[in-house]
Amino acid sequence: MKRIAIDPITRLEGHGKITIFLNDEGAVDNAYLQIPELRGFEKFVEGLPVEEIPRVVTRICGV
Amino acid sequence: MKLNIGIYWGAACGGCDVAILDTHEKLLEIADMADIHLWPIAMDFKYSDVRAMKDGYLDAVLFSGGVRNSENEEIAKLLRAKTKTMIALGACAQMGGVPGLANMYTREDILKRVYLESESTANTEGIVPLEGAKNGAHELELPRFYNTVKTLSQVVDVDYTIPGCPPASMQIYSALGLIWDNMLPKKGSIIGAGDRALCDECSRKKSEKTITKIFRTHEKLPDAETCFLEQGFICLGPATRSGCGSRCIKSGTPCRGCYGPLDDVADQGIKMLSALASVIEAKDEKDIDAVLDTVVDPLRTFHRFSLASSILRRKKA
């Protein structure tokens, strides 16, 4: 079985990698898109004063 | 001879990369100055290309984002080996930035909230990211999500820092000019920023400050000409390095400190607390406490961008 890694995937905002497994005939057995990143905004904005939210969540994606 | 540079992001939002792109036509000058050998947001180079470089091949790396997981750390160390000059670009690389606020929680708190409790997530099997997983004969890996967000200089030796969230585009352009002209200051310097406090460049009117209450922005309309702090709105101008061009202040909103502390300040948030304490109108300790009690959410106000680099650093384990 052959493994092809596309790491990182590029020209987008964020991190990602693609791993493709080929079987003995060279056909795709399976392909996986993985997102190797997390920052946890869902947690650390909890309880933040509402007027401050716009200045924090704009840092989720700056693109 | 052209410079060889790499541009990379750890735990970032891409805003620093966009700030580079926002140099507009100057980008053509940057392209004349430097060949870019890694820039995930804009160009298709792989980690394997970086691994194939000789050590010290790159003249400079601009590294934005903090170090949130083992991949960020691994690539930071790889790039450190491949570059002569490592530059922390932006508040996250310098101080952890907004994602550093995750240090208020543990790794488990965050994984639980994001993958198990989030109202918009359907995850009936309760799966959280695994460092290694097998699907039949296919073995897959993900980086380890750390308990603590780290700054770039907490994992590798950093030569220079360009502050800001995001750094002002023309400041990045000038900093690149320093490399090109071989005019870099002494190692460890902040480049692409001022050396005074933001307050010193602020055009708002200042007189004697005597604060008796801290206001939230919905509680009263700020006067457009007067110092925010004087009006009782927390503004991190006294504890923040200049160089941003007063973007927030000019937009009618107080500073939150993204340009970080001045030289020789160990902790920006605590510096701000000290500045605030000095302008409170109080006869005794009780009065001071009464005013400070009106500060909502002090940690995320005073350490909005700098928690990971502060002496507090994180929630006690």
Average pLDDT over residues B185-202: 96
**What is the pLDDT at residue B208?**
80
The pLDDT confidence band at residue B288, using thresholds 50, 70 and 90, is confident
Distance from CA of A7 to the nearest CA of B (A): 6
Average pLDDT over residues B13-29: 97
Helix, strand, coil abundance in chain B, percent, nearest 5: 35, 15, 45
A59 in Cβ contact with B65 (< 8 Å) = no
For residue B33, pLDDT beyond 90:
yes
pLDDT in tens, B197-221: 999 999 999 988 788 899 998 999 9
pLDDT in tens, B306-315: 999 999 999 9
Picking from A38, A42, A13, the residue whose alpha carbon sits closest to that of residue B13 is A13
Q: DSSP assignment of B193-234, as one string?
A: S-SSBHHHH--SB-----BS-PPPTTTSPPPSSB-TGGGT--
Distance from CA of B106 to the nearest CA of A (A): 10
Find which of A2, A11, A15 to mutate to test the B interface (most B CBs within 10 Å of its CB): A15
Task: Judge: B114–A46 Cβ closer than 8 Å, yes or no.
Answer: no
Please, what is the average pLDDT of chain B? Answer: 96
Choices 3.30.750.24, 3.30.920.30, 3.40.50.700, 3.40.50.2300: CATH for B3-99+147-180: 3.40.50.700
Average pLDDT over residues B255-278: 95
Report the residue from B102, B118, B218 with minimal CB separation from A39. B102
**What is the pLDDT at residue B95?**
98
pLDDT in tens, B133-158: 999 999 999 999 999 999 999 999 99
Picking from B85, B87, B250, the residue whose alpha carbon sits closest to that of residue B171 is B87
Helix (H, G, I), strand (E, B) or coil at B191: coil
Task: Judge: B13–A59 Cβ closer than 8 Å, yes or no.
Answer: yes
DSSP state of B53: S
**What is the pLDDT at residue B282?**
83
Whole-prediction pTM: 0.96
Residues of A within 8 A of B14 (CB-CB) are 13-14, 61-63
Percentage, residues of chain B above pLDDT 70: 100
DSSP state of B167: P
User: CA nearest B105 in A: which residue?
Assistant: A44
pLDDT in tens, B63-90: 999 999 999 999 999 999 999 999 999 9
Domains in chain B: boundaries: 3-99+147-180, 107-145, 198-309
The pLDDT confidence band at residue A9, using thresholds 50, 70 and 90, is very high
Find which of B7, B39, B46, B228 to mutate to test the A interface (most A CBs within 10 Å of its CB): B46
Distance from CA of B5 to the nearest CA of A (A): 17
d(CA B286, CA B292): 10
Helix, strand, coil abundance in chain A, percent, nearest 5: 20, 30, 50
Report the residue from B41, B68, B135 with minimal CB separation from A11. B41
Task: Judge: A62–B98 Cβ closer than 8 Å, yes or no.
Answer: no
For residue A32, pLDDT beyond 80:
yes
**What is the pLDDT at residue B173?**
96
Task: Judge: A7–B300 Cβ closer than 8 Å, yes or no.
Answer: no
pLDDT in tens, B40-67: 999 999 999 999 999 999 999 999 999 9
Residues of A within 8 A of B98 (CB-CB) are 56, 59
The pLDDT confidence band at residue A24, using thresholds 50, 70 and 90, is very high
**What is the pLDDT at residue B278?**
86
**What is the pLDDT at residue A3?**
96
Task: Judge: A30–B138 Cβ closer than 8 Å, yes or no.
Answer: yes
d(CA A16, CA B93): 20
**Chain A residues with at least one Cβ partner in B under 8 Å:** 1, 6-8, 10-15, 19, 21, 29-30, 32, 34, 36-44, 46-49, 51-52, 55-56, 59-63
**What is the pLDDT at residue B284?**
86
Phi, psi of B6 (to 5 degrees): -130, 145
Q: Which long-range contacts (CB under 8 A, 24 or more apart) does B125-130 make?
A: B129/A38
The pLDDT confidence band at residue B289, using thresholds 50, 70 and 90, is confident
First vs last C-alpha separation in chain A? 38
Size of interface A-B (CB pairs under 8 A): 122
Task: Judge: A43–B165 Cβ closer than 8 Å, yes or no.
Answer: no
For residue B264, pLDDT beyond 80:
yes
